A and B are shown apart, each in its own frame.
Chain A
Amino acid sequence: IAGITQAPTSQILAAGRRMTLRCTQDMRHNAMYWYRQDLGLGLRLIHYSNTAGTTGKGEVPDGYSVSRANTDDFPLTLASAVPSQTSVYFCASSARGGTGTDTQYFGPGTRLTVL
């Protein structure tokens, strides 16, 4: 069981280019999340999905879009990358809707540099 995988591991991207970060989980979790982490700041939520077919905006959604066509996949798209989107991006998932603690489990991250 892999848990959560993300691709690519790292990427250097020219400003203005379109980029999709991939995230796949095999835990059959209902909820999935995209965060960005910048030096000196806490994780900031970009978008989330509480269940397949639904998405919501987090704290910093501008410039990003997501889709949740099925339970396992939650891609994050940068339509036209800008240098301020240089960051480490983490995907996470949680069971949500069950009993007990709704712990989030994280993928290994994607290090994105926009030049």
Chain B
Amino acid sequence: GQNIDQPTEMTATEGAIVQINCTYQTSGFNGLFWYQQHAGEAPTFLSYNVLDGLEEKGRFSSFLSRSKGYSYLLLKELQMKDSASYLCAPEDSNYQLIWGAGTKLIIKP
């Protein structure tokens, strides 16, 4: 079957670094997306990994290990506006996204 596992909730301090992990099992695999979703809003695209390794984009980085079925999103220099849910979504062999329930990140001053 297809399964996504992310922590339900995480708390971090403004200015710190946080890593949000995601493990997945899918029917085939093409790549993995991370989206950000603020409360009451639509998901917005953050990153896409297709090859193993780290992709860096400003304060956000995303890592993928295809052999381990594992990804993480790394957020640096946390700001209050980073309080949101972060959704891990691997893309299966039919190019459909399989969505996790998301990790709610709470940033404290």
Contact = CB atoms under 8 A, between A and B. Distances in A.
A103 B45 contact: yes
Contacts of B48: 101, 103
Interface in B77-109: 87, 89, 91, 95-102
Given A105-B45, A108-B42, A40 B95 contact: no
Q: Which of A43, A107, A108 has the most CB of B within 10 A?
A: A43
A90 B31 contact: no
Contacts of A102: 91, 95
Interface residues of B, number: 21
A94 to B, nearest CB: 9
B100 A107 contact: no
A106 B100 contact: no
A45 B102 CA distance: 16
Q: Which of A40, A106, A108 has the most CB of B within 10 A?
A: A106
A43 B33 contact: no
B42 A42 contact: no
Contacts of A106: 42-44
B44 A44 contact: no
A84 B72 CA distance: 33
A63 B23 CA distance: 32
Contacts of B102: 42
B4 interface: yes
Given A101-B31, A103-B33, A40 B101 contact: yes
Given A42-B4, A42-B100, A103-B48, A90 B41 contact: no
Interface of B: 4, 31, 33, 41-45, 48, 50, 87, 89, 91, 95-102
